Structure 1
Amino acid sequence: MKVLITLPAGEATGEIEDTAPGRDLISLLPLTLDMYDLFAREKPGPLPRELGGVTETMLTYTVGQIAYWQPSYDIVFCFADDENNNEIPEPGIVHLGTITSGLKHIASAGDSFKLTIERA
């Protein structure tokens, strides 16, 4: 599923994969979330509830990845590599999809901002 991500300084687009957690995220749309910067590499923000159907997690991320951090129900937009080989602590992240355009708008959004995600 294609999504439109609206930020204070512009728009980004993404593709959510057809997995159980991906479909569950799509069922919540549209969403407006309070986001923040974490480690100058990712922008997380809490979803209104836990996503269902999680069966696999990853202990690394890739730039441009849309992910889910299950302990705090955060959706995460990864925008930069780090010096730790992009490692994520246990329990890891759930891959949801990929940013297809506008990653620079996510990266430059600041330390605290609102973001809207909707079906494209």
Structure 2
Amino acid sequence: MKILTIVPAHNEESTLDSCINGIRNQTIETDILVVCDNCTDNTEQLAKSLEVNTLKTINNVHKKSGALNQALDKYLLDYDLILVQDADTIIDNRLLENAVKEINKDTKLGAVCSKAGIKDIMSSK
């Protein structure tokens, strides 16, 4: 099964490293695409230094949805499953594994959504 994780990112250099580490710690392998959306900080350079695929939006005026649409237009047909994750989020190591189990339970199912929990990552540094 070929999986892509899309991370739409607008000026997320302060959280992107933790986000990418969370994706890399999944129990199931996934390709990672950071969609650099109208960034004015070092988000794009950081993503490249983390050795993930990047896509820079072109003429996007529709914010996150526009960034996702540009990525999906380019990559949707190349993958069996796509995870969309915010750049300021760290996911549990088994999120992707559990999502795949759920989506495989029913052939009519087209998407799953995770239950969000909040962790104060700033106080743990």
TMscore range, shorter length: under 0.3
Name the larger-Rg structure.
Answer: 2
Q: Structure 1 or 2: larger strand share?
A: 1
TM-score, normalised with respect to structure 1: 0.28
TM-score, normalised with respect to structure 2: 0.27
